[in-house]
Amino acid sequence: MKTNNYQGALQKPINSGFNAKSTSADVIKGIDLTGKIAIVTGGHTGIGLETTKTLANAGATVIVAARDITKAQKNLDGIANVELETLDFMNPDSIDSFTAKFLSSGRPLHLLINNAGIMWVPLRRDNRGYESQLVTNYLGQFQLTAKLWPALKQANGARVLNISSYGHQMAPFNFDDPNFLHRDYHTLQGYGQSKTACNLFALELDNRAKVFNVRAYSVHPGSVLGTDLGREEPIELFKQIGTHDENGNLKPEVAALLKTVPQGAATTIWCATSPLLNTIGGVYCEDADIAKLDLGNIEHKFDEPKTIYGVQPYSLDQDNAKRLWDLSERLLGISFDVI
């Protein structure tokens, strides 16, 4: 019996009872999170905000880590059981400050939801010269998780969720030049490799951490209407992929097929709380179930969201996962010893 998801060994649906139309409210029904502590990065907008509301309403204490505190305070106003802290993934010192403050509280961490992310951005670098999508979507979550490891282990039953994307299909991880120092920058390649990294990280973390009763998952929310993830995307790209008309407007027939924000948060909530996953980890999930492995037999059409599913084997490869872990430690100058 397989105990890890290397090469996609566990990557098949388990008939969760939910589907693409299920909402966060559907998935959380009957689940009491009283006494649980959760951290949600970017938990003040879009799918992250819906995740925060759902967990808090179920009784969890939710620490929202946000870069824009003013915006976060406005969006979180009136929600009980929420704490707000500053966190900027483009600044490694900010990550260290955030984690040191949480660890000093002595609290266990039952849920770490690495939700914050960016997409469609022009080439930007942090002060180390690292590309911004790689930093925000992956390296920041690796550093955050590593620093919070003592609290995750203390929980004796924690889960780590990396919010990934179907976008991982756009690019495998480029180990030779992850920061676009010697190749032309293409924003979707940067996004794709950052999400592939999320999958590989969840895969390897789960295999190392399960002995401490910590499980990890990667999550594809689906094609969701009403987030600001594409706020910097050139409208010409939307036209090229067929989702927008010549005037730059979202086609009504496409909008009708997109998920709502509560539907987009459903898989996050399912991975965070479902008892069906108590003995399964390292898997890539979508539509509130474990996703199918994409072996080249799925026809994908960007103007038909229901065809945008499946996970690439290269993002569940054992060698890639271990190699990425070592590279991440070197790039960040830290050791993530799961002991």
Give residue-wise pLDDT tens across range 247-258: 777 676 666 678
pTM to 2 decimal places = 0.94
Environment class of 333 (CB within 10 Å of its CB; exposed 0-12, middle 13-18, buried 19+)? exposed
The pLDDT of residue 237? 65
Cα-based torsion angle of the residue sequence 172, 145, 43, 104 in order, rounded to the nearest 10 degrees:
-170
pLDDT of residue 244: 61
d(CA 275, CA 263): 20
Burial of 140 per CB tally in 10 Å (0-12, 13-18, 19+)? buried
What pLDDT is recorded for position 44?
98
**How crowded is residue 330: how many other Cβ atoms within 10 Å of its Cβ?**
8
- The answer to whether the beta carbons of residues 289 and 309 sit under 8 Å apart is no
pLDDT at 129: 98
Check residue 317 and give its pLDDT: 98
Question: pLDDT tens digit string along 34-83?
Answer: 999 999 999 999 999 999 999 999 999 999 999 999 999 999 999 999 99
Phi then psi for residue 61, to 5 deg, are -90, 120
Position 228 scores a pLDDT of 59
**Looking at residue 301, what is its pLDDT?**
79
**Main-chain dihedrals φ then ψ at residue 162, nearest 5 degrees:** -105, 115
Q: What is the pLDDT of residue 234?
A: 65
C-alpha dihedral, 268 to 125 to 145 to 16, nearest 10°: 20
Torsion of CA 278, 283, 284, 289, to 10 degrees: -40
pLDDT of residue 231: 55
Measured between alpha carbons, how far is residue 63 from residues 41, 82, 111, 159, 334 in Å? 8, 6, 10, 15, 24
Dihedral sign computed on CA atoms, order 321, 148, 216, 190: negative
Q: Which residues pair with 217 in a beta bridge?
A: 161
Other beta carbons less than 10 A from residue 275's beta carbon: 7
Known active-site residue 138: no
Strands 82-86 and 61-66 turn out to be parallel
Which stretches in the chain have pLDDT values below 70? 226-235, 237-244, 250, 252-256, 303
pLDDT at 242: 65
Q: What is the Cβ-side half-sphere exposure of residue 224, based on CA atoms within 13 angstroms?
A: 26
Report the 10 Å Cβ neighbour count for 247.
7
Label residue 248 left, alpha or beta by phi (over 0 means left) and psi (-120 to 50 means alpha): left
Catalytic residue (one of 6, 130, 191, 284): 191
pLDDT at 229: 60
